[in-house]
Structure formats: C-alpha cells, structure tokens
Chain A
Amino acid sequence: MKRIFSGAALLAVAWLYQAAPAAEVYLIGDYTVADSPKDAAPQAGWGTYLAAALPNCAPATRVHNLAIAGRSANATAGVSSKSYLASGKFAAIEAALKPRDVVLIAFGHEDERSYDVTVYTNPQTDFPANLMQFASAARAKGATPVFVTPVTRRSFYKGALLNSHGPYVRSMRALAARNHIALIDLTADSMAWLNGVGEAASQPFFIAISTGSVDAAHPNGVRDDSDLTEQGARIAAGLVAHRLAELKLPAICTP
C-alpha cells in the first residue's frame, strides 16, 4: 500500500513538473547587469551571460534580462531602484509573473549618485523600501525574489580594494535577513575574486575611465573602473550562477 502511494506521489510530482509551464528568471537591475547597447561597447553587463553560465539548468529555464542600461553618452547616471520603478517596466514584469518564477533584484550602483535626485536613494530608507516593493510584488505572485548585491568596482586605493557600495550592500543584506529573502552576495564574491586576481591582473575585466581626480599619492589620477568588459561580465555571471544553483530553486535547476 505504502509502495503504491509513494509511486503515485512520484507520478504526481512528475506530472506536475511536466504540466507546469517553463519557469522564467527575470533580472532587474542597472547597467552593470543589462544587455549593453551597441554604442556602449566594450562595456557589458553580467545579465547578458547568466543563461550561458547555467548550462545544466538552462533548457527548462528562460532568463529574461530586463535590467536597464540607461547609460548613454548623455546620461549622467544609469538606472537605480528608484528610476527603475518610475520607468514602469516593473509593472509589466509584475503582471507576467507566475508561481515558480524567480526575480533577481540587482540595484545599488546608481542609487549612490547623491547629486541626482532622479536616481539617488537613501540607503537606510528609500533603498530598502524600493527593494521590498520588488520583493513583495514577486512573492504576491508566488515567485521567488532574490537580492543580488552590486558587483564591485575595481576601486583600488593604495593597494587595497575599497567597498564603494558599503552602505547599500549592508542595507540589502540586512533587509534580506530580516525578511528571509534569498541573497546572492555578488559584492562579497566579486571583491574576493578581484582581491585574488590583484590590481594589475584584473585590468582586462573592467573599463578604465579617468575620474580626473588626482592627488599627491596618485599624480596620474585614479581610474574609476566601474564598467565591466565582456570578460569581466562573464566572470560575474559565473559567480551569480554558482550561488543561484546553491539556492536550489526549482526554476533554476530541476532535479
């Protein structure tokens, strides 16, 4: 009797998996995640390469990279949690969400731009409120929200890698812990990776842009290496894919 029951249960589970429509993975975030517009080359976003970094899971899973590049030649800043919400793009995603879908939420990078109120968010108030808005909407549809902390910049100062996303990363981590939301700590993983590679050897993974800031210790200026090259974006995608697989979400890696 027991055997028959478990056999039936197995069949039921198998049927459910077959019947359930393919799970979707949605990525929302800024230009470090987004598919890069042609005029931004060689800049690349890690979201572009996420599906390729999930070779064993990809067939059943469709990855939609809906991060917004928003960094054209004229823009002073990209897209933050605030301007993403304002864009209306999330409302469309929300309408399409269904149970078992996964929403990767990757903001922080542009929320830091305190000189531009269209993107700036206070890391202690607006930023977590916006993140929670994305997460709650996903949960309400039976989808799984996953926070992804921002990929590090290649910001070495006197040989040490700075965590220039500090307040935003800490805020996202705390919010995830408080609300039991899955978190991929890409900041920590990418900093560990960059520290391992070292300042000089990590150069090909980022695009060096002169900030124009010079001091006595750095007479030739210090470069802001915020933008990933394709090589860097592929590595960041690999870091995310590795952690995503660890979360064992059915939508990502079915048994």
Chain B
Amino acid sequence: MKTHALMPQNTVPQILKGKLPGDTDSMELYTRQRGARPVLAVLTGIGLMACVTSATLAAPVGAAHTAPTTQALRLFVAGDSTAATYGPERYPQTGWGAMLQCGLKDVTVLDYAKPGRSTKSYMAEGRLEEIAGELKPGDTVLISFGHNDEKADEPVRFTDPDGDYRTNLEQYIAVMRKHGAIPVLVTPVTRRSFENGKVIDTHAVYASAMRDVAQKTGTKLIDLTVASMRWLAPLGPEKAKKYYLYVSAAERYPAFPNGSVDDTHFTELGARAIANLVDGELARLGLPVSRHVLTARPALTRPVPVGGPFCQ
C-alpha cells in the first residue's frame, strides 16, 4: 500500500464521525487532555500517510462509501473500547471492531462501539436508538459489553450481572429484532490477566450472565471470553504484551508520550488477532453473514503490524 490509488476501497474500515451529547471521551477530548500531537509523523512512508489522511477525511457515517455492492450484508458492532474504531492519533491502539472487515467478503462493517461504555451508559446516551435508526431487516449486530458494566464504583456505568446487565442486554436484543436485524451477543474479550502463569477470567460473572441471556432469548452467542482466553493462555504473559497496549516511551507514539501499560486494550496486532477469533466464530453461527467469512484470513494473522487498521 504505497499510494491511495492502489488501495482497494473496502480495505479501510468505517471511522464513524457521529457524536452525541455527552460523548466526552471522544478522540478529540482525549487528544486535548493529553496534549498529543497527530500521530501521522510516526507513520512510515508518505504514501501511507496520504492513505490514512484521506481515509479519515473521506469516511462518512453510512454504508455507501465502502459497500462493495448495494446488496452487501451489513454487520454492526455495539460495544466498548475494546471493539471501537480509533483514528490514527490513537495508534497503536486498535479495537477489534475495526479489523473485522479484513476477514469478511462482501460485508460492510459499521463499528458503533464507543470507548468507556457499558450497556447502561451506551443506552443512556441514545446510542442504541442511533443504531436502531440505521438498521434494516437482515442486518447483523454484534453486542459486546462487560468491561465497564463491572465498574462498581461508577454509578453511570455499573450494572448488576444478576440485574440490569441482563435486562439491558434483553432490551438490546428486543430493539434489534424489532427492526428485523439479527442480534449476536459477544462475551467480553479477556484481559491480559495472568496469575502464576494461568489466565484468570475476570469477566466470569458477566460472561455467564450473557450466556444465560443468550439461551433464554434464543440469541446467537460468540463466546469471545472463552475463545480469547484459549488464545491468550499459550502465549503467556510476556508474549501477550505485543497484543495488549504495552508501549514504551521510546517508541515515541504521540498518544503515549510516557508509554503505556494496559492489560485491557489492544495494539494493532492484538485487534487483528481478536477480530480473527470473532470472524472465526461468526463463520460457525449459520447466519447469512457466516458464509461471507473468509476461510484464510492472512490480514488478521499477520505477524508484523502495518501501521493502521488496514486489510493487508
């Protein structure tokens, strides 16, 4: 990918520009708080730079821009920071929702995941309604929350795994179905949470609540908690660091002037690996979108990062 002209149109995931009231941890504010400079300077190659810039500027809300055909299936993502799409100023932070596209053929991914949101705050901000307004019969929607529902000391986000976490998920499902869309629950992706060499399931109660909801409502489920723990365990704590947001100050990323030690969020390679798991599970669900999952997904298993969420 040296020039924008050579880049196929569907290689760049959607970057949503829509903002709602209260969207305070949007990238703009984050950038202001950290006083970060644009990350473009660290990206190698003028061509790549042009590509990122034009992709960011040109991607509007909606499917038309990247849809390979007018009949392309659409896959929505409602979720949190682990699934969100980030601009180049946040690189290397990457969410798995931004990479799903790279394992799919003739599917348009619309990533509505937002950093910091729980089932509760996402709804309170009107984001469920926002997705509902876009939905058409036959669309598929991945619903993945839990990381922020767990925050017991934050009333705006906390939900009880035996209470409103379940009822909120049921509400998401009902809204999707009302619009003729197919909801798919996705249990929260694991943290890099090792103890004595073993992966600890820190989402356990929320994941099991979600499994219950899936069963009770007859909703398809991707058990990303289990899949990602199985992926993480053989890596071990040290090798896992290149997939989670471990960044040294020496790498001089503008978003991380002091580096980063983060066991929750993903680097570009981490987002690719998790997207690979999600696409792989999606293929097994027997949904219309399942037949559009590529059997070989080299863009999601590549060992070396590209510098952005590109399908190559």
Contacts and interface: CB of A to CB of B under 8 A. Distances in A.
Chain B contact residues: over half helix, strand or loop, or mixed? Answer: loop
Interface stretch (B91-99, B133-141, B167-175, B197-205): B197-205
Contact of B153 (A117, A122, A164, A218): A164
Interface size class of A (residues with CB under 8 A): 20 to 34
A122 B205 contact: yes
Contacts of A155: 153, 155, 158
Given A216-B21, A216-B125, A217-B124, A124 B156 contact: no
A216 B200 CA distance: 35
Interface residues of B, number: 34
Nearest to B117: A215
B13 to A, nearest CB: 26
Interface in B176-231: 191, 193-195, 200-205
A164 B155 contact: yes
Nearest to B160: A166
B153 A153 contact: yes
A167 B161 contact: yes
Nearest to A164: B152
Contacts of A157: 155-156
A211 B202 contact: no
> For B116, B153, B163, B200, which residue has the most chain A Cβ atoms within 10 angstroms?
B153
State the 7 A-B residue pairs at the shortest beta-carbon distance, nearest first: A216-B22, A157-B155, A114-B202, A164-B152, A155-B155, A224-B153, A166-B160
Nearest to B264: A115
Interface of A: 112, 114-115, 117, 120, 122-125, 153, 155-157, 162-167, 170, 211, 213-219, 222, 224, 226
A175 to B, nearest CB: 16
B69 interface: no
Contact of A163 (B21, B116, B160): B160
B162 interface: yes
Contact of A162 (B158, B195, B203): B158
Contacts of A213: 116, 121, 151, 154, 156-157
B205 A123 contact: yes
A122 B204 contact: yes
A112 B152 contact: yes
The listed residue with most B CB atoms (<10 A of its CB), out of A162, A163, A170, A218, is: A162
